[in-house]
Structure 1
Amino acid sequence: MARRASNRHAAGVLGRTNESATAQSPTMVLFVLLGVLGIVAYGSFLLNPANRGDLLPWLLVIGAESVLVLTALLSMWTILAGAQDPRDYAYHRAKELLFDGRFIRQAALEQDPTRWPLRVAGEPVDVDVFITTYGEDLAVIRRTVQAAVGMHGRHRTYVLDDGLSDDVRRIARASGAHYFRRPSRDHAKAGNVNAALARTTGQFFVILDADFVASERFLVETLPFFSRRTVAFVQTPQAYGNLTNFISRGAAYMQTVFYKLIQPGRNRFNAAFCVGTNVMFRRSAIEDIGGMYTKSASEDVWTSLELHERGWRSVFLPEILAIGDAPETIAAYAKQQLRWATGGFEILLTHNPFGFRRRLTLDQRLQYFATATHYLTGIATALLLLVPPLEIFLDLRPMTLGITPLTWALYYAGFYGLQIGLAFYAVGSFRIETLLLSACSFPIYLKAISNVITGRKTTWSVTGAKGKSSSPFNYIVPQMLTFLFLALTSVVGVWRDMDNGVFTLASAWNITNSLIIALFIGFAAREHAQMKREARVARRLTRVPTAPVDHVSPVPALALQQDDRMAGVA
């Protein structure tokens, strides 16, 4: 029941994407315009020579805020492009002709939509559905496979098992799916998909991660776009049904603005990119670029980039057609963000979108530049953490003494307050989890850019895997050291202010930073305690015999089928 309630919650939050697919509301446009005004006012304040303080902290503030301002402007430009509904007349006409009603009646297939032949542009087509697995929980895999097999439209479902599990093989066969196991795990997920493409023949193929349960209407809603022969892939949003703890909620809501506003806006520029799951590809397009990109752990965005450079088109359909699992632990979140950030920095440093050799439109260059620089915002956070200690220990200030804390706060709020307001409007409420995760993820992004600069490879990891648990404290050593430094700095700052009889902005700023990281460490401690409790329970259950996997009662294929919004009803 908790899982089903979570699925409905995901539908309620991200499913509203559909409601605004055709145009931006006047309120959203107003927020964006006010946000731009706030950026201009804040930028003018910082760059005014009369306001400049000591050089080092001023440069830190200018560098960090420049990254944040540029990211905000690029995002707002994309949002103002409008969430134009990609479902035009050609799409609806192709959808009407997707099934041959006369043949279905003659073959007596009315009661089995999974066997209805699919047609695109009047021609029969074959569709393959690839479910990539690598050690995920068996119950998770089972419900994903069952849902994929049950999708409307004739298709073949393949479980691509890099986990080499006989239990997964039995699940696939019991569910009516094919099972593939390759001899090596070269190139991780991209290599897994490429190996399957070499053994299948469908003109179109779907990629689903092992934890994403697809709607029965997934093929019906995505395939009609391919009536346009230049469309390489159709991407749908990632939505999550496991919003049960601090990490999963924070990680899920961090992506809401992206899927609700950014990706739809990128349709206008032919720059929406693949996110690795819940996506349908045209086989000939992938063959045109030599297969899924294998030189990066972020194969999704790199494959999109190569397709766009070859002149192919992409479509983002703002309709939730699958629900999956967000990372539930700090370890899973850190690995996910490290992989995504590394992919972005790889594009920035090794394949600059503005390079002369890039075969992209100006709009596409801007959008891929925004993607490549997005995670610099996390590094900007680290730079801003250094500003208060410089004043507390060295009496170095970014702004002149003539600038009062109230003046600074007004300009600062004009920028950040409006950004938070925009996110608040998009998400529907303020999420403290997202704020804490964003503020405390800077070590991940510093490691990502370091990996790219030094050429260190980032391994591919599974978000939903339930393998050996690892203490969250193994992943937050930099945050704990930062907290110790900031806590000591706060003590020094308060002591200094008591001597001077004035409570300074630097001390308030530093204390706030300390509290934010302290809250994050507190959540890590709670997760660590929960993991220890679960380990004790698991040890007690090791002596209890379990039923063979073939005899486990099937899991309901798709909780979201009970919600029209999640069933993909046009």
Structure 2
Amino acid sequence: MPAPALPEVTPSALSGEQDGLSESVDRRRGARDSPSLMMLVLIATIGVLLYTTFLFDFSNRGSWLPYLMVLTAESVIIFQALLSLWTILSSGHNPRGYRFHNAQNRLWGAAGKAPDFAESAADDLVALPMHLHETPVAVDVYITTYGESLDTIRRTVSAAVAMYGRHTTYVLDDGKSDDVRALAAELGAEYIRREGNAGAKAGNINHALSVTSGEYFVILDADFVPKPDFLYQTVPFFAESKVAFVQTPQAYGNLGNLISKGAGYMQSVFYRFIQPGKNRFNAAFCVGTNVIFRRTAIESIGGMYMGSKSEDVWTSLHLHEKGWKSVYISTVLAVGDTPETIEAYTKQQQRWATGGFEILLKQNPFSRKRNLTLDQRLQYFGTATFYFIGIAPGLLLLVPPMQIFLGLMPINTGVSFGQWLLYYLGFYFLQVVVALYTIGSFRWETLMLATASFPIYTKALIAAIRGKDQKWSATGATGKKASPYNFIVQQLMAFAFLVLTSIVGIWQAMTVSSFTLALCWNLLNTFVLGAFVVTAVRESRANKRAEKGLPPKESRRSKRAGRAFEVTAGGDTPARPAFTAAAPVPARSVDTDADRTYDALTPVGR
């Protein structure tokens, strides 16, 4: 099939990229298509399989209890590793085909000529009618709010109103604030408030659907600031009648502390490689924001799913069961906030994990009742079981103390250290190598959160089993910050236990003049969990300073990082990531090439 002609104004021109540079040839797609990456993934897969054979060779078994604990935890990790590697191998698929480019060429009308974006006035750009199959389309933009600050809402609404292409912006205020109503009127957005808060975010969106009529609707969380070309980059996909939604990445501009960095880095591989890989299987799922839906698709399943706080994944699952198609593009089209406090991180992760476990328990993807392809079943099963990987560290933390206190070893003494290390590094070291290649560096903040989060995911599993509803909490909601210690009781107890174990282990080593692998392992766990406890201490001190009205203390490193994100494009409001828009939007200046945007917002070294 011949390559489609480029529109007169290319996506690169809209994004501020250099002429001729598109996502199909940018550095990130090059990484996904790289033979080197494919080779690394295949080698890593071999490493996983070899480690699996070593682990399940019962002749290597030590004491039954620690061995079974290691076997259980590592089996979860192995399964997720294999599924991730398989999905990454499929991540070179480009969803932009001839139909997309043809529709994008004609988005502004049958003539296929876009206006001169550099010369056109902002109001003219916003008022441009969009077309699919030569027919005008109506687009609604929903900004869901629930107690976020007015500054946060202002940034998002201002940018949403200024997006290119005719659309109507609605503020869906579940916080029922008259100040938000006034702000929406000031910025030229419509305001919708409902009675009660049934169904949380999903209920809020369903209510908006009942009082609006756009053929397509965008969902933006209150803290995600969209680029002006959001609609230009996404609406053309709907030229294909079976496309239900187009999802774009979550990128973050508030990576200022250990919690926000760890939470942000944890999702880097997912948005860069896993979601693109899911395109190949028609299994990319909605992540709740930065997404545009076809109204008729949502109506076909009775609206956004309201039976879970993870309405995004559940809605995606039901759409795929109905035969609808999903599209994920890795171009960053909106930038928002990741959790900055232990409280926010805990609530977010517990909500997400509960939703995943609910899918496994209530709607098992491998059930005969599910109308899914085999590939979709496997992908959704991986999503539903993913958070077991967060429980696994809790089991592994107990293994070294069992050897130090009780002399129980998971591997028998007949296995040499060199033999064990060869298999172990063949698994874990190669996983690190793949991570280094895909996201550019090893991030210890992610290791810290992964180690410390096992109580969160354990609670989520229990909540899903009990059918206990999770209280909704917006990431950027305002209000008095609770003490971080309220959310890390189990982590504090685990840290104290590991410190005691380390002391005993060091005493034993000094007595017998031999440092064991169990002691080294325990010391590493103690250090990592200790870093999390120190983070909680610092956060508690910062909260107390805030309560007294004192400015936060910043380290020199934090100040340098802050200066790297200084505002360079108009406005007096606090700095926030955004992009050159048709109308001035207070924002950080960010390079809008998709790959370079990730570098700036999620500094992972690629």
TM-score over 0.5 for the pair = yes
**Which of these residues, 33, 56, 65, is aligned with residue 56 of structure 1?**
65
Are the aligned partners of 1:266 and 1:272 in contact in 2 as well (CA < 8 Å)?
yes
| TM-score relative to the length of structure 1 | 0.91
Q: What SS does structure 2 have at the residue aligned with 1:323?
A: strand
Aligned to 2:144: 132
What letter corresponds to residue 41 of structure 2 in structure 1?
V
Q: What SS does structure 2 have at the residue aligned with 1:124?
A: strand
Aligned to 2:453: 441
**Where do 4+ consecutive residues of structure 1 move more than 6 Å?**
101-105, 552-555
Question: In the alignment, does 2:42 pair up with 1:42?
Answer: no
Alignment of 1:239-388 (within 5 A): 239-388=251-400
Alignment of 1:136-151 (within 5 A): 136-151=148-163
Aligned to 1:70: 79
How far apart, in 2, do the equivalents of 1:85 and 1:437 lie? Answer: 32
Shift of 1:265: 0.4
How far apart, in 1, do the equivalents of 2:246 and 2:414 lie? Answer: 55
Farther off after superposition, 95-104 or 305-314: 95-104
Structure 1 unpaired stretches of 5+? 1-7, 9-14, 541-551
Aligned to 1:544: none
Write the deviation string for residues 248-290 of structure 1: whole angstroms up to 9, x where unpaired. Answer: 1111110000000000000000000000000000000000000
Shift of 1:492: 1.8
Are the aligned partners of 2:74 and 2:392 in contact in 1 as well (CA < 8 Å)?
yes
Change (3 A) 1:567 1:217: farther
How far apart, in 2, do the equivalents of 1:391 and 1:539 lie? Answer: 47
How far apart, in 1, do the equivalents of 2:458 and 2:24 lie? Answer: 34
Question: In the alignment, does 2:108 pair up with 1:99?
Answer: yes
Are the aligned partners of 1:203 and 1:284 in contact in 2 as well (CA < 8 Å)?
yes
How far apart, in 2, do the equivalents of 1:110 and 1:507 lie? Answer: 67
**Structure possessing the higher relative contact order (Cα contacts under 8 Å, 6 or more residues apart):** 1
Question: In the alignment, does 2:539 pair up with 1:530?
Answer: no
Question: In the alignment, does 2:476 pair up with 1:464?
Answer: yes
What letter corresponds to residue 465 of structure 1 in structure 2?
A
How far apart, in 2, do the equivalents of 1:560 and 1:260 lie? Answer: 22
How far apart, in 2, do the equivalents of 1:532 and 1:27 lie? Answer: 50
What letter corresponds to residue 421 of structure 1 in structure 2?
V
RMSD after superposition: 2.3
Q: What SS does structure 2 have at the residue aligned with 1:248?
A: helix
Question: In the alignment, does 2:84 pair up with 1:84?
Answer: no
Q: What SS does structure 2 have at the residue aligned with 1:116?
A: coil
How far apart, in 2, do the equivalents of 1:383 and 1:265 lie? Answer: 30
Farther off after superposition, 276-285 or 51-60: 51-60
| TM-score relative to the length of structure 2 | 0.86
**Which of these residues, 585, 589, 600, is aligned with residue 557 of structure 1?**
585
Aligned to 1:549: none
Write the deviation string for residues 10-65 of structure 1: whole angstroms up to 9, x where unpaired. Answer: xxxxx999533375212211221121121122112212232111111111111111
Question: In the alignment, does 2:42 pair up with 1:20?
Answer: no
How far apart, in 1, do the equivalents of 2:54 and 2:355 lie? Answer: 34
How far apart, in 2, do the equivalents of 1:510 and 1:17 lie? Answer: 46
How far apart, in 2, do the equivalents of 1:435 and 1:17 lie? Answer: 32
What letter corresponds to residue 178 of structure 2 in structure 1?
D
Q: What SS does structure 1 have at the residue aligned with 2:496?
A: helix
Aligned to 2:579: none
**Which of these residues, 209, 229, 242, is aligned with residue 217 of structure 1?**
229
How far apart, in 1, do the equivalents of 2:352 and 2:273 lie? Answer: 19
How far apart, in 2, do the equivalents of 1:189 and 1:496 lie? Answer: 55
How far apart, in 1, do the equivalents of 2:141 and 2:44 lie? Answer: 42
Count of matched residue positions in the alignment of Structure 1 and Structure 2: 542
Aligned to 2:180: 168
Shift of 1:509: 1.0
Change (3 A) 1:183 1:535: same
Aligned to 1:11: none
Shift of 1:80: 0.7
Shift of 1:414: 1.7
Change (3 A) 1:568 1:174: farther
Shift of 1:98: 0.4
Q: What SS does structure 2 have at the residue aligned with 1:164?
A: coil
Structure 2 unpaired stretches of 5+? 1-15, 17-22, 553-570, 575-583, 598-606
Farther off after superposition, 145-154 or 518-527: 518-527
Shift of 1:496: 2.3
Identity of aligned residues (%): 54
Are the aligned partners of 1:273 and 1:314 in contact in 2 as well (CA < 8 Å)?
yes
How far apart, in 2, do the equivalents of 1:24 and 1:161 lie? Answer: 43
